[in-house]
Amino acid sequence: MQNRTPVDVPTQVPNIIKFVPLIFGGILILFMLRGAFIIVEPGMTGVKATLGKVNQTPLPEGLHFCVPGMDQVTQIDIRQRKESAEATAASKDLQTVSAKIDVQYSLVGGMVPQIYQKIGPREVFAKTIIDPAIQECLKSVTAGFTAEELVTQRSLVKDKVEQQMKEFINKSLSQKELSGCVEIHNIAITDFRFSREFDAAIEAKVKAEQEALRAKQEKERSIIQAEAANEKKRLEADAKAYAIREESIARADAIKREAEALRNNPELIQLRTIEQWDGKLPKFTGGSAVPFLNLSMDDLEQ
């Protein structure tokens, strides 16, 4: 056998090994840079806390730089939002009243860091500021109205609730040095509910009022009909009296004209006499002649 001389293979260090630290360093830097930027979404305001301390400068919408591991950003919704709450109170006439109130409000973006620092996120703000205001103000306002007035004067009740809520909220916020951090846009009382007994009483009252109104209308209709009938009778009587009067005037005028005609025509008088003669001759004693009646105009007028 022939002995083979071993070939020496030169030892080559791959160049890639030299770049491993750089690669890992680059990845680490990219990872850190990825956490160094944050985007505040539309309608939100960012609150930056550095090592747990709240920065009083709010972060508006857009891209912002943060120190990874040191800064933490919390986004707070400052858009208009509706908060609803159920409340139960007693009316002036001691009726139990339940109501649902909707409050539309928004936070002032420039004061969001203070709100977050002294109260908390928006959900906490609603529970600690808005909801207590609804409960307290509804009880205060309803105590000044009867149950019926709460329904018939709903607009006035709403205005008073809104006014007292604003005062209550401003007072609560001023105690925390947060005056002006919230804007109340609208308050709506969406529902009033009473006890079954009160609802039944209201229904009975409404029914009685409707029946009374119906009876009044029927009475007025009967009066109108009676007055119309009387007026008809009066008009008919006036028409009849007028006809009689006109007939009498016409008859008197005809008699007057005929009398004048007879006075001016003696022959006509004898014609009228003959027309009135029944053909029987009067009987006279002591004479043979049968005279014809000779009547003058004076005799006819007598």
- pLDDT tens digits, one per residue of 126-143: 999 999 999 899 889 988
Provide mean pLDDT across the span 129-158: 89
- pLDDT per position as a tens digit, 177-219: 999 999 999 988 887 788 777 767 777 777 777 878 888 888 8
Please give the pLDDT value at position 252: 81
Kindly tell me if the per-residue pLDDT of 7 is higher than 50: no
Range scoring the smallest mean pLDDT among 20-29, 144-153, 188-197, 287-296: 287-296
For residue 169, count CB atoms less than 10 angstroms from its CB and return exposed for 0-12, middle for 13-18, buried for 19 or more: buried
Average pLDDT for 226-240: 84
Report residue 198 as tokens: 């009160």
Residue 271's pLDDT is 66
- Rounded-to-integer distance, Cα 108 and Cα 137, Å: 23
**DSSP SS3 for 21:** helix
Q: Computed over its alpha carbons, how large is the radius of gyration of the chain?
A: 57
Lowest-pLDDT range, 17-21, 36-40, 170-174, 182-186? 17-21
pLDDT tops 70 at residue 300: no
pLDDT at 11 over 60: no
Least confident of 43-52, 157-166, 201-210: 201-210
pLDDT at 26: 64
User: 43 with 15: CB under 8 angstroms?
Assistant: no
Chain region(s) in the chain for CATH 3.30.479.30: 81-194
Predicted TM-score (pTM) of this structure? 0.56
Of 270, 261, 258, 260, the closest CA to residue 299 belongs to 270
Please give the share of the chain, as a percent, with pLDDT higher than 70: 74
Identify the band that residue 117 occupies on the pLDDT scale cut at 50, 70 and 90: very high
pLDDT tens digits, 82-108: 998 888 888 888 888 888 889 999 999
Mean pLDDT of the chain: 80
DSSP single-letter state for residue 129? I
Q: Which of 90, 80, 91, 83 is nearest to 165 (CA)?
A: 83
Q: What is the pLDDT of residue 93?
A: 85
Q: How far is CA 284 from the centre of its chain?
A: 109
* Least reliable range by pLDDT among 7-11, 111-115, 123-127: 7-11
Q: Which segments of the chain are extended strands (E)?
A: 37-40, 44-50, 53-54, 62-65, 71-77, 81-90, 96-107, 182-194
Report d(CA 256, CA 262) in Å as an integer. Answer: 10
Least trusted range by pLDDT, from 46-60, 66-80, 283-297: 283-297
CATH of 81-194, picked from 3.20.20.80, 3.90.550.10, 3.30.479.30, 3.40.710.10, is 3.30.479.30
- pLDDT mean over 138-158: 88
239 φ, ψ to 5°? Answer: -65, -40
